[in-house]
Amino acid sequence: MAASIQFIWHGLSCFSIEAKNGDAVANLVTDPFGAETGLKIPRNLSADVVTVSHDHPSHNNIDAVKAAGEKKLFTIQTPGEYEVGGLFVYGIPAPHDEKEGKERGLTTLYRFEVGDLSVAHLGDLGADMLDPQREALEDIDILLVPVGGETVLNAKRAVEIITQLSPRIVIPMHYALPGMVSKSDPLEKFLKEMGVGSPERLAKWKAVKKDLPVEETKVIVLEKD
């Protein structure tokens, strides 16, 4: 049975991700946010693993996630290499801002691998990537990228990073939503920068390697659940 990854988006940089490879299944939640953001996070969030890219209320509300099984929730908040239920997680340090982290500190980028599929989650990234980060994210299939500007990448910079990494699929995140407290650009600004008129819009999306585009980068927009 081919490996697969399913994505559901909760807003900002928060996703529920189900990774399957044969009989191995791992459930992951990325960057759970708090009520301070003005957004509501699902009450029934559960996972085997939770990752935090930046120690900020819009990314670090670990208490919102419950353990999916009998084992304790496995929390990843720092760079390093981890393996849970056939899911391999690589945390990559990166400066949060253009001044080498002197303004907002560091953030952690994540690479997730299951079977023959690889995903990059750029979390709270607000600066251009340096060579070490680009090298660590080479040959990824799916890129989850912030596009709303302010404290994260804006549309133009997001497109520059997409060009550098050449993923098969791009899923934009961390952009303006109704009720959100912080200022962010709307999704449409990114779509215009990408030259995408009518992207595929889905409530959830499941990836299998053989179904991914080969000659182009496709944008998929996930609706907030």
Q: Stretch 44-64: mean pLDDT, rounded?
A: 91
What residue ranges do the domains of the chain occupy?
4-222
pLDDT of residue 104: 58
pLDDT digits (tens, 9 = 90+) for 188-204: 999 999 999 889 999 99
When the pLDDT of each residue in the chain is averaged and rounded to a whole number, the result is 92
- Name which of 18, 93, 98, 30 is nearest 59 in CA terms: 30
pLDDT of residue 147: 97
pLDDT digits (tens, 9 = 90+) for 64-107: 999 988 889 999 999 999 999 889 999 999 876 565 544 556 79
Q: Stretch 95-120: mean pLDDT, rounded?
A: 80
- Looking at residue 47, the DSSP 8-state letter turns out to be E
Radius of gyration of the chain (CA): 16
Q: E strands of 87-180, at which residues?
A: 87-95, 106-114, 117-121, 142-146, 169-173
pLDDT cut 70: percent of the chain above it: 96
pLDDT of residue 70: 83
Tell me if 74 sits within 8 A of 49, measured CB to CB.
yes
CB-based contacts of 135-138 (< 8 A; 24+ apart in sequence): 136/90, 136/92, 136/109, 136/111, 137/92, 137/109, 137/111, 137/165, 138/165
pLDDT of residue 93: 92
pLDDT digits (tens, 9 = 90+) for 138-183: 999 999 999 998 889 999 999 999 999 999 999 999 999 999 998 9
Distances in Å between the alpha carbon of 146 and those of 121, 149, 210?
9, 8, 26
CATH architecture of the domain 4-222 equals: 4-Layer Sandwich (3.60)
pLDDT cut 90: percent of the chain above it: 77
In whole angstroms, give the CA distance from residue 162 to residue 143.
8
